[in-house]
Amino acid sequence: MLSQPALLRGGRCGRPAEVVTAMMIRLLNCTTAAFVLSVASLPVSPLAAQGAPPAPAPADTVRAIARPRQPLPAESASAGVTRYSFIVYGDTRGRRDGTAEQYEHSLIVDAMLRVIAARASGPSPVRFILQSGDAVVNGRDAKQWNVSFTGLINRLTTEGGVPYFLAPGNHDVTSAAALDDPRRKEGLANYLRAVADLIPPDGATRRLSGYPTYAFGYGNMFVLAFDSNIAADSTQFAWAKAQLAGLDRKRYPNIVAFFHHPAFSSGPHGGSIVERPTAAIRDMWMPLFRTHGVQLLVTGHEHFFEHWVERYRGADGITRRMDQLVTGGGGAPLYAYRGEPDLRAYLAATGADSARVEHVVKPGPEAGDNPYHFVVVHVDGSRMSLEVLSVDWGAGFAPYRSNKAVLRDSVP
């Protein structure tokens, strides 16, 4: 059916026509236009105004992901919680974005739901999910969010019931460094619509207004998300610095940061290549993380699993450990090992911190060596451990000679 403006443009009512058919069509237009105008002038019933469901969003508008059935409690309400688990993964963009549901990602979601259900009544239930970015191929395309991504995440938040937190990747908001870049603004608007009911709102203490930068606390853990596409942005960095500096470390002995670009990696985005966001993370964010004793970094961008450990001397003289997981096996085309990054300048810049970096798990040399996967991180007081769970043909993936590791050094 034509829209109301189109109907009103159908022709001038009563104008003589040279052809009978044309006259009939114009008469129909006039009659329909009159009907539309008369209906539009009728009063709206109170029941329709109050109880009718909202009109569906236009096809070019991203739909918000459903709220979690079991949202995180207020920070103060979970202060005594010290045993639980959470899921981390990233890079879910797929070949079918915009035309069908992400198939490879759906395998991950199915497996996550099984884990969530199996552990719901156990000693370490899954309380939330962190995704390190690249939800879709082109975040500026609303159809890719609506058709391919949102429905899968709705399953996690409703069937699984758990909160879902997404950090923006370069495919989501583009890799533009300038905040006013038109492409970035378009992608960012879509990202913010998608996660509107999942992250703290503008104006909240744990949200940097106008940015996809936020934090939350649960139990004995504080979690920070930031946009690594603009890692050098001073406003974002200052906000994150203030959040970390203001923490009650007795309440939050564990700190996790998740973002898209890893500080170190050995795939096509790493090795001998140092991308702009990576350089800013090494120069600005890693010293900040060392200062505040951040224990775990969750990243993606490289479509495989690898594990790095940085050891450094803290301000108190104690040697500390910071683990970085690169977990980009959420459904995007898989990558392979390309080579080790040159970290000599990075290590020299740490100065008194005396950093040492160890590549604990390396990805395989072929894409087929690196399966789709996600990681379950277990928290038990100050102790964190993990399980890498792979799906499909990658079942049985054992990156540590098993699929488990403890994120702490052995105590003599």
Q: Establish if 242 belongs to a structural domain.
A: yes
Rounded distance between C-alpha atoms, residue 179 and residue 208, angstroms: 14
Predicted local confidence at residue 31, as pLDDT: 40
Residues 34 and 159 occupy one common structural domain = no
Residues 41 and 79 occupy one common structural domain = no
Query: Residue 99 corresponds to which amino acid?
Result: T
CB 356 within 8 A of CB 347: yes
Domain of residue 17 covers 4-51
Q: Establish if 65 belongs to a structural domain.
A: no
Tell me the pTM: 0.86
Residues 153 and 22 occupy one common structural domain = no
Rounded distance between C-alpha atoms, residue 138 and residue 153, angstroms: 17
Q: Establish if 247 belongs to a structural domain.
A: yes
CB 91 within 8 A of CB 332: yes
Residues 181 and 242 occupy one common structural domain = yes
Residues 85 and 32 occupy one common structural domain = no
Residues 28 and 138 occupy one common structural domain = no
Measuring CA to CA, how many Å separate 263 from each of 211, 268, 322, 380? 21, 14, 12, 27
Instruction: Quote the number of domains for the chain.
Output: 2
CATH number at residue 332: 3.60.21.10
Predicted local confidence at residue 56, as pLDDT: 54
CB 161 within 8 A of CB 129: no
pLDDT by position in tens, the chain (length 412):
333 333 333 333 333 333 333 333 343 343 444 333 333 333 333 333 334 444 555 668 999 999 999 999 999 999 999 999 999 999 999 999 999 999 999 999 999 999 999 999 999 999 999 999 999 999 999 999 999 999 999 999 999 999 999 999 999 999 999 999 999 999 999 999 999 999 999 999 999 999 999 999 999 999 999 999 999 999 999 999 999 999 999 999 999 999 999 999 999 999 999 999 999 999 999 999 999 999 999 999 999 999 999 999 988 889 999 999 999 999 999 999 999 999 999 999 998 778 899 999 999 999 999 999 999 999 999 999 999 999 999 999 999 999 999 999 865 4
Q: Establish if 36 belongs to a structural domain.
A: yes
Number of residues that this document lists for the chain = 412
